[in-house]
Amino acid sequence: MRQTILIAVLVLCAASVIARNVTFEQEVAHGRHNPTEAELLKIFASFGFHPNPLSDRFRLFKKRLTNIIKHNLNPHKKFTQKINKFTFKTQEEIRSLNAAQNCSATARENMSVKKTYNLKDLPQYVDWRTKGVVTPVKDQGECGSCWTFSTTGALESHWALHTGNAPLLLSEQQLIDCAGAFNNFGCDGGLPSQAYEYISYAGGLETEGDYPYEGTDNSCEFNRAQVAAKVVSSYNITFQDENELIYHLATVGPVSIAYECTDDFMDYEGGIYSNPSCSKSPEDVNHAVLAVGYNLTGNYYIVKNSWGEDWGINGYFYIELGSNMCGLADCASYPIVHTHHEQ
């Protein structure tokens, strides 16, 4: 009996060590509380690390935390940062996660302006989540498969809009395993526009339930008999044309975008992300996401990420509109799921 009680106490103690106190983390990150070493170790342990004050990982955490506090105390910043799972990662680990392929080749294909888009007749605010066609935020894990989540997210929404049914959860793993012939590289990166080409060629995409996510590069096991959604072709937004991007986001549906994800973005908490130092070149694009709306009055896009609901604003972020921030309009695209699509 005493042994059972002892085990129970140990389990409770372990649980208290790993339980996160998000409110306390916010107080620390915003410079409202100066933490002791013991308190920092408790935060460190709550993310699953052994609380060793001499470990390189703990030193890295303290360095990044110092930068987060400095950022949040700067009144000129438009967005805030918080402690999250990326606060403990090295630059090499972050680079392997952000592995969208640069889109210089596809950008060159979209250089000519097709038409002029006037935004004055568009709604000031659009959010496709309110229409019930955006699926829950997913988590790509340690695989550089952001491009697959941007692709499935867009197709999930456009297929729901086309069919009038609730959106399906589609398979990212099928894209990781099977889309290599279309210049995609599984966990080492790819592009949504090239993924749409694959889906059209293959005949469709299975559901996540039929072809579940593993977050590793595996052999292709696509079963055409289980196709749940199809792509006729794709539409590529003219290179760096944000008016066209906004127009299609307002009138058609969510749009896959890709941009340069820099170090300060990883710890994003809220506000409108902007970084005048990031690149606007298609050569530097390294992360693909899904734009699901915009606010013309507030001057930002509403964007769905693939890092889980505990990141950012419940898995979403806002990014500055109108300046091609970090190259977000360099290689935007969305799937066409029926033959009567109007551009």
Task: Assess whether 249 and 313 both reside in one domain.
Answer: yes
Looking at 73-171, list the stretches that DSSP marks H as alpha helix, in order from N- to C-terminal side: 91-97, 104-109, 146-163
Catalytic residue among 84, 158, 287, 326: 287
Residue 18: in which H helix or E strand, if any?
helix 2-18
Residues 167 and 305 in one domain: yes
Question: Is 146 part of the annotated catalytic residue set?
Answer: yes
Same domain, 57 and 97: no
Kindly tell me the burial class for residue 165, based on how many C-beta atoms sit within 10 Å of its own C-beta (0-12, 13-18, 19 or more).
exposed
Q: Is 331 an annotated catalytic residue? A: no
Q: Is residue 343 part of a domain?
A: no
> How far, in Å, are 40, 80, 178 from residue 202 at the CA level?
50, 42, 9
- Same domain flag for 53 and 136: no
Determine phi and psi for 257, rounding to 5 degrees: -130, 160
71 classed as catalytic: no
* Chain mean position to CA 290: 7
56/105 same-domain check:
no
pLDDT of amino acid 20: 79
> For residue 15, what pLDDT is reported?
34
Distance CA 268, CA 233 (A): 34
Compute the distance between CA of residue 252 and CA of residue 245 in angstroms, rounded to an integer.
10
* Residue 162 in domain: yes
286 falls within a domain? yes
| 14 assigned to some structural domain | no
How many other CB atoms sit within 10 Å of the CB of residue 221? 12
Q: In the 8-state DSSP scheme, what is residue 328? A: T
Q: Tally the domains of the chain.
A: 2
Residue 275 and residue 266 in contact, taking contact as beta carbons nearer than 8 Å: no
Q: How confident is the prediction along the chain (343 residues), in pLDDT tens digits per residue?
A: 434 333 332 233 333 345 778 899 999 999 999 999 999 999 999 999 999 999 999 999 999 999 999 999 999 999 999 999 999 999 889 888 876 667 765 554 554 456 789 899 999 999 999 999 999 999 999 999 999 999 999 999 999 999 999 999 999 999 999 999 999 999 999 999 999 999 999 999 999 999 999 999 999 999 999 999 999 999 999 999 999 999 999 999 999 999 999 999 999 999 999 999 999 999 999 999 999 999 999 999 999 999 999 999 999 999 999 999 999 999 999 999 986 555 5
Whether residue 99 is found in the same domain as residue 163: yes
Which residue do the tokens 């079963």 mark?
223
Tokens of 73: 């105390």
16 lies in a domain? Answer: no
Q: Are 268 and 312 contained in the same domain?
A: yes
| Residues 304, 201 within the same domain | yes
Contact 213, 224 (CB under 8 A): no
Q: Which domain holds residue 163?
A: 93-336
Q: Is residue 303 part of a domain?
A: yes
Of 146, 261, 278, 331, which residue is the catalytic one?
A: 146
Question: In the prediction, which pLDDT does 51 show?
Answer: 94
**Structural domain contains residue 280:** yes
Q: Are residues 136 and 243 in the same domain?
A: yes
Examine the domain organization and report whether 172 and 320 are in the same domain. yes
Same domain, 49 and 173: no
| Beta-ladder partners of 271 | 79
Could you tell me the CATH number of the domain that includes residue 254? 3.90.70.10
- Please indicate, yes or no, if residue 107 is contained in any of the structural domains: yes
Q: Are residues 195 and 56 in the same domain?
A: no
Q: What CA–CA distance (Å, rounded) separates 37 from 42? A: 9
Reported residue count of the chain is: 343
CA 163 to chain centre: 26
The two beta strands, 287-295 and 300-304, are: antiparallel
pLDDT number for residue 1: 44
- pTM exceeds 0.85 for this model: yes
